Amino acid sequence: MADRAMEEEEWEQILDKYRAAGKILIEVRDEALKLVKEGESLLKVAEFVEEGIRAKGGEPAFPCNISRNEEAAHATPSVNDTAVFSADEIVKLDFGVHIDGYIADSAVTVDLSGEHEELVRASEIALNEAIKIIHDGVTTSEIGEVIGNTIKECGYKPVVNLSGHGLLRYNSHAPPTIPNVGHKQGIRLKANDVIAIEPFATDGGGKVVESGNVEIYSLLKEKPVRMREARKLLGAIRKYRGLPFARRWLPQERLNLALRSLNSMGLLRDYPVLKEEDKGLVSQAEHTVIIKEDGCEIITAMKDSG
């Protein structure tokens, strides 16, 4: 019994780190959303998010994603990016916070045009409906079916090749996959699992494809490296412990050469920007939840949602 009590106490301490990460995320998100407006710099917003996380005692779990219009994921500003928000854009702000490797992840969509609120609401409603059915024993297929059906009922298509995911220590996309459509087979979730539910809705065809632009990488593995620049880069990215990092976070001297070298050796994973294949607009909503016996705890809830 003593060992079990100790295990429960240790697990509760871990869950408190997830909660602390969620608290930081909520605070930074509330402030960052005020900056998402016409004429504002994307780079300024991304740096505001990442620096704000660090100032509050956390670390970014991955680079701040700012995806616009048909972009769905993996878009983050470059080191000298001059892009600014336009009045006709639909903007997805997606970022994560970790405390000692324990991650909270959330995303929200802002419609700067004021013309696509129903699309924004489709992903939000799907997220809320999915959260309603979560409990110890629910399957990932059941969650996906609710998400997909809800988005369709709103008049849009779910993005079938994007999904939610588990969150483990220093692993921002861990098993299980939380689909955005129903599947015949699913994984049964259990109490204290931590997952990110992440509906994507579109007025396009419902699939994303990779574009050529890459600003985000992660370290897959290590092995001896001869090139001096590559060794230096490897030393700079070890601290991320396998979590994704941005090109703009790195020493810029001969960076492209060093990245190519590590990539050619199979040491890096790159994350091309994902775009809707028919150039349809995409909305996204995401929360991190802890599974409970009879429901779930939302650790990234908007302040006005309780």
**Length of the chain, please?**
306
Four-CA torsion 291, 294, 299, 304, nearest 10 degrees: 150
Q: What is the pLDDT of residue 212?
A: 80
Distance CA 109, CA 123 (A): 9
Residue type for position 120: V
Query: Mind listing the domains of the chain with CATH numbers?
Result: 2-211+277-305 (3.90.230.10), 214-271 (1.10.10.10)
Which positions are annotated as active-site residues? 94, 105, 165, 173, 198, 286
Read off the pTM.
0.94
What tens digit of pLDDT does each residue of 139-154 get?
999 999 999 999 999 9
Four-CA torsion 145, 149, 151, 156, nearest 10 degrees: 120
What tens digit of pLDDT does each residue of 19-66 get?
999 999 999 999 999 999 999 999 999 999 999 999 999 999 999 999
Tokens representing 135?
């409990």
How large a percentage of the chain has pLDDT more than 70?
97
Tokens representing 43?
């780079």
